[in-house]
Structure 1
């Protein structure tokens, strides 16, 4: 918008300047020619006096003509009736003959400028028009590069440049007054998920300020709805905690047996599902609209949390992290920590003690990271889709890998299970970069 406005103003002002300055340049050239004609008229009067006073003596006239031609921009020539001429341009034409016969001075436009013809009376000794000499003064048209004309053209060109530059500066300021407030609003709209970003102060034209006010009003309403949603989720979590606790106490009061164990497991699954629902409802509060977390350090630190348990069970837990700068992914820090917990807990729960674990973190082409967890356990069952929610081949809730898969897909990646090089299970999690 700003560039288009500047180009439009430059084109419009350029056409106006051409329409104004070209006629002014022509007028300046005509004025310069008029000044030369006026100066030539004064010189011609002096020449006329010399020719009239000299009479038939051409010697004084020749000396004077040579001297005046050396000091003047015009060219003076004295033409006598006998066909002789004193000056650099001898020779007559019809205009000279007509001026001699009529005895009248004249000014004519000729190629390259103008000429002044003045017949000179030689006094009483004159025999009439046939004996009358004519003084011809040729005034050349001013050159573009001559002193006064060149200065006038430079002044006009400078004036045009100043006017054009001023118009462009004004157009730039006007365009900036529109573009900068809109740019700030666009930046604010792109970072609405970042709670550290404050709305820009109203500025710019009335329409832009109205747009900013509407955007801030919309953001306020969204934040109000999110606040109410969080309060509702918190209230739901609190209300569910009491009946679940009551059920657990009643189950523990039952006599030991299969029914008690089965009810206890069902209640555990219910607790896991409730925690998952509450966690998903609070996702926007944790990560905002656009999540972005340096993943290498978070994943490595959370994996190191499991090292003491691995040592207690006689397992080898290796963690391979690339060196260099960290890499951001499109997920919150709590979700990344929960992802590592889900994957490692799955290994610890479903593999025998002493089975080794290898966790590898690598940078992903195009941004993001790839997390790979290999184990030396029995591997995944062939007849069960362990990634599908609620599906499990080991009498569990079936939510672990489903949660990990959801985190991966929401980041722009995915999750794949397979066999590790040692014959156990392998989980490859692809985490995409922030949007």
Structure 2
């Protein structure tokens, strides 16, 4: 089973190709068998008629004229010799026996015949007889079938290639819709709303329609979830504001400060909840063309102006980028705030992995994230266990919002721990 291919395309191709090859091989075998039978019948029939005529002509010619007629009477697989020929044993192979029976049926009634086998790798016999004037005559015969036409192997090779091509086309027609469906599932992004093309055979059309209906239902559920989150977060702002006003009038300073801290944390959670709900909706911002190095440098300068240790290492070339700047700014500020929250410094680097993409790296000096939780921290409200405190724990929505907005910009966001310590966040975006 190790030789059995793993992909469905290869398996179906092997099965269909072998089936067609066996069917063609059987047809070819039957055709060749019938051809050999027909060729054998034709060969023996020609031998019977032609030898009888040739011997009769030689028998009636004067002895002095017989030698001149021999080239006219010779054929491709037999010829006439005006001598006793070569001595030898009686032939034993089957092909020689068929020729011997034909010659006996043709000549033995008029001329006594004696047959000998000529040594060699192929069937080769001689029939010895005596003409009426006593002259010896030998029929030198190689009993073989007519040769196969030189173009036949080429036709067989073309037939094999045609079978392989038809097998590939047939299997591709079956597997291609499945591959397209698999790619659509792999790239499923409810926020992007990219329906699958409903074309092809009836079965494929139905599957694509069912997939689009499923994607629409997922989008509906996600919109309902985000609407609920946004509504709850929005409605909580009013009672939190009233609670702050009442707490500020409390007479116990220590209790008042603790309650205000709790209310501030609740306010941050509400604001982040609203921001997360909005980030899951399709962006309405218009795409603009900007120079990425200068744009990032302006953000870094804003952080430096308020005393934050943020450094920027620009690439040596201009990097024009067409994107939604406000959404990208929100991604950058979320990631920089997260880097400064867990580390003392943050560094931004820009490089170009290929001609169609640009990558932004944000590096911090914090403790990093356990490898098992690198994917989980991108989920909403997830926080690393060691950071669940009021100072650094946050709401667990910063990275989720950044990842969601990056996806809306047709980019990817990846987290990785650095060998020297700290976390490295890479944003890869299409250039336009």
| TM-score range normalised by the length of the shorter chain | 0.5 to 0.7
**1:141 corresponds to which residue?**
143
TM score, norm. by length of structure 1: 0.61
- Using a 3 Å threshold, how does the CA distance of structure 1 residues 154 and 360 change in structure 2: closer, same or farther? same
**1:360 corresponds to which residue?**
347
2:17 counterpart of 1:18:
no
**2:14 corresponds to which residue?**
7
Deviation at 1:271, TM superposition (A): 0.7
**2:59 corresponds to which residue?**
51
Native 8 Å contact 1:318 1:359 kept in 2:
yes
- After TM superposition, the structure 1 stretch with the greater mean CA deviation from structure 2, 250-259 or 239-248, is 250-259
Native 8 Å contact 1:299 1:340 kept in 2:
no
* Gaps in structure 1 of 5+ consecutive residues: 79-84, 123-130, 288-295, 327-331, 348-356, 375-384, 393-397, 419-426
Give aligned pairs, total: 356
Native 8 Å contact 2:339 2:364 kept in 1:
no
Distance 1:284 1:105 in 2: 107
Q: Aligned match of 1:303 in 300, 303, 306?
A: 300
Native 8 Å contact 2:348 2:363 kept in 1:
yes
2:79 counterpart of 1:75:
yes
Native 8 Å contact 2:244 2:263 kept in 1:
yes
- Using a 3 Å threshold, how does the CA distance of structure 1 residues 302 and 99 change in structure 2: closer, same or farther? closer
Q: Aligned match of 1:199 in 191, 196, 201?
A: 196
2:425 counterpart of 1:431:
yes
2:185 counterpart of 1:189:
yes
CA deviations 1:338-381 (Å, max 9, x no partner) are 1313554789xxxxxxxxx75324699x999451259xxxxxxx
CA deviations 1:64-118 (Å, max 9, x no partner) are 33x446676521135xxxxxx27xx356988899999863688989662676777
Q: Aligned match of 2:123 in 112, 127, 132?
A: 112
**2:363 corresponds to which residue?**
371
> Which is higher, the Rg of structure 1 or of structure 2?
1
- Using a 3 Å threshold, how does the CA distance of structure 1 residues 359 and 43 change in structure 2: closer, same or farther? same
Native 8 Å contact 1:108 1:116 kept in 2:
yes
**2:151 corresponds to which residue?**
154
CA deviations 1:309-361 (Å, max 9, x no partner) are 33xxxx775434566889xxxxx9534421313554789xxxxxxxxx75324
- Using a 3 Å threshold, how does the CA distance of structure 1 residues 223 and 236 change in structure 2: closer, same or farther? same
* Gaps in structure 2 of 5+ consecutive residues: 1-7, 91-99, 284-291, 321-326, 354-358, 367-383, 405-412
